[in-house]
Amino acid sequence: MKKLFLVSIITSSITLASCEGLKQIASILAPSEFEMAAGLREALTQGMFRSFDAFANPEGNPAIRFAFPGDAAKIEKTLRDIGMDKMVDQVTSKFTRAASSAVQAAKPIFLDAVKKMTIRDAVGILLADNNHAATDYFKSTMSPELMVAFRPIVDSSINLTGANKDWSSIVNVYNKIPFINQPLEPSLTDFIAARVIDYMFTTVAKEEEDIRTKLEFRKTDLMKKVFGWAEEERAKRK
């Protein structure tokens, strides 16, 4: 009887010790809030660099080609119909190059904006069912600041390429066409800046979705740990 009681105590002790050990392991595996925020920042930065790569070769990416504000296709067709093909091509090319130059010059601004992401909401963002949760948070908190910082860089790039002068020529001709419902704006700085920022967020969102759903996109050990843990935690809730 005593032996049985002793065996029971030893077995219970081993079980309790095992449970404690498992808890410790789970605690080690679960990332800290700091790691969660850092992992999210790494994911956003990875998406940003994908955007930078796209703008580094603007001619090879139709998604970042300059498009006229408003009904782009209709405006372009109207201008070409009145014999302004060369000017349209020139403006399109210059504005595309200006946007590319502005993005390369503004790299530190975009990357600094990512670093400012706080850890307060990291857990909620990471465990959200929304595959773009980090990007949406980044976009909502940083867009106004990015716009203010990015606008003068875009303006400088537009002036350097001479796109502003070509644009003025197009505006002068287009706005004199009879029955034009919406005249073209004389300045495109804000339009270009907003369009570039939107494209960058779209690219970051796609990268975040890939990181959340595909192992091969988790390029660092921290991302593997953080997003792997989040994936398991979300699976437990289903």
Domain boundaries, the chain: 1-30, 32-237
pLDDT tens, residue order, the chain (238 aa): 555 544 454 444 444 444 444 344 444 478 999 999 999 999 999 999 999 999 998 877 888 999 999 999 999 999 999 999 999 999 999 999 999 999 999 999 999 999 888 888 888 999 999 999 999 999 998 899 999 999 999 999 999 999 999 999 999 999 999 988 889 999 999 999 999 999 999 999 999 999 999 999 999 999 999 999 999 998 887 7
pTM of the model: 0.82
CA distances from 112 to 27, 48, 107, 130 (A): 31, 11, 8, 24
DSSP annotation of 175: T
Residue the block writes with tokens 């857990």: 123
Which residues 6+ apart lie within 8 Å of 228 measured at CB?
Answer: 218
Task: Name 139's Cβ contacts closer than 8 Å, sequence gap at least 6.
Answer: 201
